[in-house]
Amino acid sequence: MMRQGTEQRLSGQAQIRASGARQAGPFFGAIDLGTNNCRLMIAAGTPNGFRVVDSFNRSVRLGEGLRVSGRLAEESMIRALDALRICVERMRQWPLSHVRAVATEACRRAVNGREFLERVQTEIGLTIDIITAREEAELALESCSPLFRMPSRPPSQSERGVLFDIGGGSTEVAWVRVDQERKSQTLIGTTSMPVGVITLQEMFGEGHGSSYEEMVSHVQSHLVGFENVHRIRREVAQGNACLLGTSGTVTTLAGVALALPRYNRAAIDGLTLPGQIMRSAIDTLRSLSRDHLAMHPCVGQDRVKYVLPGCAIFEAIHRTWPIEEVTIADRGLRDGMLLRMARDHGQRFTRERRRTHRHVTPRSRGPLGNYATI
């Protein structure tokens, strides 16, 4: 959380904003400092769950060059510090009961990762914890748990699910027991692959031409051990497994599949699409030149280097476990942290939304509801 010297005293403007939040319950802040992005989410408790009142996301590329040097570069750290200053300033506008900030793979791996976080504490007064890959998977599972289901089967028994989170420096995969009757999930096992969109791009390039298949094969090689331990393909063959992905890659692919004129979280989060439609979206992106990818409304200039490496990670996972349908989650560590903080404060906290699940086939696309924010 922010150190005592930076704890906010609400200005008149902040008090107006807070009182305008429908007199919500306690406020919580969560920061996820990843290998590629710095993300902030601020939420207010409500009688029916939680409502996001502010959020921030900036590409900082903290892990750029880390694979070769083993260190966080000065330019990368400056970008991250600039983004974190914005996060702190935005948090000061709300009467936060608690704040948690975490760092993931880049700071785990870099020899100067802890030194950088000490610099963050000194320069802007924000304490950031480095979490393990296991906790990263647990937070993702906690945030995505309402989306686990077997769309084509009745909720009669325990099933299985694969949850994956494609990051900048690593990809977390979890094998989950899904009890549909009790609406609960149990983590069976996790693995953290040392491949993410930044690391793949630095190893193979941006994925145009033959390098794409090289990336897919490389990622698949990292999945062999996890498959040998858990025998997931056997459950897939019996129709006992669902697949759920959370990352910019899968949300981008869903946006492409739906031909959205611009990215729309309300249309994506909780959406279930046939795996083949997701693979077709990959084919669409692969057919575009770099310039056309940069102009694509669901990609953009900031992500053009990393979109095909992300697609290669998704394709490797789907080839290894060819589950017919994929559920897409636009939620992750921040949501999981908010849920935990609220539970610790005795608040029953679920993310407010109009509809939790949507199942879309190529012939049933259409308007997909709204996401309410303040």
Express as a percent the part of the chain with pLDDT over 70. 81
At 341 the pLDDT is 86
At 354 the pLDDT is 38
Q: Are strands 49-59 and 96-103 parallel, antiparallel or unpaired?
A: unpaired
At 152 the pLDDT is 53
What DSSP line would sit under 169-232, residue for residue?
S-EEEEEEEEETTTTEEEEEEEEEES--HHHHHHHH-S--TTHHHHHHHHHHHHHHHHHHHH-H
**Cα–Cα distance list, 137 to 28, 82, 123, 189 (Å):** 21, 27, 30, 10
- 354 Cα distance to chain centroid: 21
Return mean pLDDT, the chain: 85
In sequence order, what are the beta bridge partners of 277?
none
Q: Are strands 129-130 and 241-246 parallel, antiparallel or unpaired?
A: unpaired
Express as a percent the part of the chain with pLDDT over 90. 71
In sequence order, what are the beta bridge partners of 58?
38
What distance separates the 2 farthest-apart alpha carbons in the chain?
Answer: 60
Q: What is the mean pLDDT of residues 27-56?
A: 89
**Cα–Cα distance list, 348 to 45, 343, 345 (Å):** 9, 6, 9
Q: pLDDT tier at 51 (50, 70, 90 boundaries)?
A: confident
Query: Which residue do the tokens 């992750």 mark?
Result: 332
Q: Which residues contact 58 (CB under 8 A, 6 or more apart)?
A: 37, 38, 83, 86
Question: Which one of 105-119, 136-150, 176-190 scores highest in mean pLDDT?
Answer: 105-119
Q: CB–CB of 353/320 below 8 Å?
A: no
d(CA 220, CA 281) in angstroms, rounded, equals 20
Express each pLDDT in 345-360 by its tens digit: 765 555 544 334 444 4
Express each pLDDT in 107-125 by its tens digit: 999 999 999 999 999 999 9
* Domains in the chain with CATH codes: 26-131 (3.30.420.40), 147-329 (3.30.420.150)
Query: Which residue do the tokens 């996301």 mark?
Result: 57
At 345 the pLDDT is 74
DSSP conformation class of 247: S
d(CA 37, CA 103) in angstroms, rounded, equals 10
Dihedral sign, Cα of residue 226, residue 231, residue 236, residue 242: negative
Q: Are strands 271-274 and 358-359 parallel, antiparallel or unpaired?
A: parallel
d(CA 94, CA 125) in angstroms, rounded, equals 17
Vertex 350: Cα angle to 19 and 125 (nearest 5): 60
Q: Is 41 helix (H, G, I), strand (E, B) or coil?
A: strand
At 370 the pLDDT is 25
**Number of neighbours of residue 365 by Cβ within 10 angstroms:** 14
Q: pLDDT tier at 363 (50, 70, 90 boundaries)?
A: very low
Q: CB–CB of 172/136 below 8 Å?
A: yes
